[in-house]
Amino acid sequence: MDMVEVPGTDGPNLPPLLDATGAGGTQVNRMVREQIELAVREALGGMVPRLREGAKWNAMAAVLALYGGGALVTTMLLLIALVAPAWVAALIVGVLLVIAAAIVRALAKSRTHPEPSHVPAERRGVESHRPG
């Protein structure tokens, strides 16, 4: 067999690409893995800093929205406290927030975990393959 010259190596001192011991196969695996890693680094290289910057701005927006939500909850409490005792106002706002959280949780669950009737048979697991 002829010697194979692989770019970035010592040249013709390498064993044949696929010799009887399989050492050539491990070299090919390593070379392919390195090429894939290089391609991924090149493809994602410019994207990572942009994603990091976007994540920072989104985090700042989330913190500001949290404080804004707190201010709105306080406003609701103070408005209700004008016509009812403060503890009643706090109770009303607390119950409303818990109900809103339950609704959002139900919506999130329905969108992330479909009902079994909507799941294809091949993804349902063993239950769909039992004799009926």
> What was the pLDDT predicted at 118?
59
Tell me what percent of the residues of the chain surpass a pLDDT of 70.
67
Q: How far apart are CA 7 and CA 34, in angstroms?
A: 12
Q: How far apart are CA 107 and CA 79, in angstroms?
A: 29
> What was the pLDDT predicted at 45?
76
> What was the pLDDT predicted at 21?
55
Q: How far apart are CA 19 and CA 30, in angstroms?
A: 16
Mean pLDDT over residues 57-79, rounded?
Answer: 95
> What was the pLDDT predicted at 27?
84
Q: Higher model confidence: residue 9 or residue 116?
A: 116
Name residues whose C-beta falls within 8 Å of residue 24's C-beta, 6 or more positions apart in sequence.
4, 15, 16, 17, 18
> What was the pLDDT predicted at 38?
86
